[in-house]
C-alpha cells in the first residue's frame, strides 16, 4: 500500500459524532498500552499522526483517520487497564460496543495483543463476540522485538491454541523493526476489498 495521505478526521464518543459513513473502515482494538496507536503510525510510516504514550489509557476517544481519501482507520480506546478509574472504564465498553455494532462501513477489526502475554478473558471474550456478530477480525501479536526468536515461536503456538486458530493466522509485528508490516497490509487490503456485508446491517 502506498500512503499518499493520512489525516486526522475527528474524535467521537457517540454515533452522532462519527464522521459520515462513506468509506470502508478498519478499526484497531486491544488492551490499553498494547501498542495500537504505535502500530497505526508504523504501518502508515508516520511518526506522530496518532498520539502514543508509555502511560496506559492515552487514547480515550474513538479517533478517525482518513487514509488516501480512500478508507478510514479507527483507533479505539484500550480496554481492561486496571488503573483506569471505574467510572471511565464503565463508559469504554459501551462506547466500543456501540461503534462496532452500528458502523455499517466497518470491514474488519485488528485485534492487537502483546506477544509476551497469554491472552486474558477480555481478549477471549472480544474475539468470541466478534465471531458471534460476524465481524472479520485480524489477530496481531505486537512488540515481537521484546522476545527472542525462539520465544516468539513458543508464544505464537500457545496463543494460537487458546483461540483455536491456525498459527499462520496470527501476524507477528514489531513497531521497532516493522516486521509484519507487509502481512498486516495484505490482511487489510483483503478486508477492504470484501464486498460481503458480514454484519448484515
Ligand atoms: N519495543 C516496542 N515497544 C512498543 C511497540 N509498540 C508499542 N510500543 C510501546 O508501547 C507503549 C504504548 O504504546 P501505544 O501505541 O501508546 O499503546 P496503545 O495501545 O495505543 O495505548 P492506549 O491508547 O493507552 O490504549 C509505548 O511506550 C510504545 O512506544 C513495539 O512494537 N515494540
Ligand atoms: Mg492509543
DSSP string, 30-96: EBTTSSHHHHHHHHHT-SSSS---SSTT---SEEEEEETTTEEEEEPPPB--TTS-HHHHHHHHHHH
Centroid of ligand 2 to alpha carbon of 27 (angstroms)? 12
What confidence score (pLDDT) does residue 84 get? 58
Q: What is the pTM of this model?
A: 0.92
| Among 46-55, 62-71, 92-101, the range of highest mean pLDDT | 62-71
Residue 40 resides in a domain: yes
Instruction: Tell whether 1 is covered by a domain.
Output: no
Q: Is there a domain that residue 53 lies in?
A: yes
- What is the β-pairing status of strands 25-30 and 71-75? parallel
Cα separation, 138 vs 151, whole angstroms: 22
Comparison of pLDDT for 92 and 159, the residue scoring more: 159
pLDDT band of 197, cuts 50, 70, 90: low
Q: Looking at the domain assignment, is residue 102 inside a domain?
A: yes
In a domain, 200, yes or no: no
Residue 201 resides in a domain: no
Whole-number pLDDT of residue 143 = 98
- Per the domain annotation, does 25 fall within a domain? yes
CA of 152 to the centre of ligand 2 (A): 24
108 falls within a domain: yes
Q: 155 in ligand 1 pocket by Cβ < 6 Å?
A: no
For ligand 1, the distance from its centroid to the CA atom of residue 100, given in whole angstroms, is: 23
**CATH (domain of 69):** 3.40.50.300
Which ligand 1 atom sits closest to the C-alpha of 56? 24
**Is residue 83 lining ligand 1, measured as CB closer than 6 Å?**
no
Is the pLDDT at 118 greater than 60, yes or no? yes
Q: Which of 7-11, 43-47, 120-124, 181-185 has the lowest mean pLDDT?
A: 120-124
Instruction: Tell me how many degrees the CA angle 133-64-96 measures, rounded to the nearest 5.
Output: 35
* Number of domains observed in the structure of the chain: 1
**How many angstroms does the Cα of residue 154 sit away from the middle of ligand 1?**
22
Q: Give residue 125's pLDDT.
A: 87
For residue 78, the ligand 1 atom closest to its alpha carbon is: 25
Q: For residue 58, what are the domain limits?
A: 6-193
Cα 115 from Cα 94, distance rounded (Å): 27
Amino acid at each position: 500500500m502506498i500512503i499518499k495521505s493520512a489525516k486526522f478526521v475527528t474524535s467521537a464518543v457517540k454515533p452522532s459524532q462519527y464522521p459520515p459513513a462513506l468509506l470502508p473502515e478498519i478499526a484497531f482494538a486491544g488492551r490499553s498500552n498494547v501498542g495500537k496507536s504505535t502500530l497505526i503510525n508504523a504501518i502508515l510510516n508516520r511518526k506522530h499522526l496518532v498520539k502514543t504514550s508509555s502511560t496506559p489509557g492515552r487514547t480515550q476517544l474513538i479517533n478517525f483517520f482518513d487514509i488516501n481519501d480512500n478508507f478510514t482507520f479507527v483507533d479505539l480506546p484500550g480496554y481492561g487497564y486496571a488503573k483506569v478509574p471505574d467510572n471511565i472504564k464503565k463508559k469504554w465498553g459501551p462506547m466500543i460496543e456501540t461503534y462496532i455494532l452500528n458502523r455499517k462501513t466497518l470491514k474488519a477489526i485488528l485485534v492487537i495483543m502483546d506477544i509476551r502475554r497469554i491472552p486474558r478473558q477480555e481478549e477471549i471474550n472480544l474475539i468470541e463476540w466478534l465471531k458471534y456478530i460476524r465481524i472479520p477480525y485480524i489477530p496481531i501479536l505486537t512488540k515481537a522485538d521484546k522476545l527472542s526468536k525462539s520465544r516468539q515461536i513458543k508464544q505464537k503456538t500457545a496463543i494460537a491454541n487458546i483461540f483455536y486458530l491456525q498459527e499462520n493466522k496470527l501476524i507477528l509485528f514489531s513497531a521497532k523493526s516493522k516486521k509484519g508490516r507487509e502481512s498486516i497490509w495484505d490482511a487489510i487490503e483483503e478486508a477492504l476489498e470484501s464486498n460481503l456485508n458480514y454484519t448484515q446491517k
